[in-house]
Amino acid sequence: MRENDRIEVGCSVEFSGGIAPNIDCSWSANNRWENVTSITTNSTLLVELSTLATLSLKSQYVRCTTHVMNGLERQSVSEPLYQYTWTSPVVHLVTGNYV
C-alpha cells in the first residue's frame, strides 16, 4: 500500500432477536476513521469504513469490536451480553520513490 491510497474495511454481522449489535472500530493507535457508514436492517448490521493511507498509519492495524448490550443499566454502565474483537493484519505502507 502507498501513501494516499484509500483503505476500506467492511464488516457485516447477522443477528436475530430484537437487539441489534454495535460495532466500534479504531486503529491500533486509536486513530479514528474519516468516513463511517452504518446500515441496520431487521437482521443485519453493515459497517463500512474508509480513510486515506498516511504515514501515521504505517505498521498500524484495525481493531473492530462487536458487542450486544443487554439494555439494563448497572450504575450507568451496561455490560455486554456478547463481545467479539476482530483485528486486521498490519498495514504495510511503502514510502519513497516508486518505479
pLDDT value at residue 2: 83
Position 72 scores a pLDDT of: 56
What's the mean pLDDT in 76-81?
62
**What's domain 6-87's architecture?**
Sandwich (2.60)
Name the residue ranges covered by the structural domains of the chain: 6-87
Inter-residue contact 82 to 23 (CB < 8 Å) = no
Give yes or no for residue 6 having a pLDDT over 60.
yes
State the average pLDDT over residues 2-31.
82
pLDDT at 56: 79
- What is residue 59's DSSP assignment? T
Quote the pLDDT of residue 97: 60
Residue with cell 493507535: 29
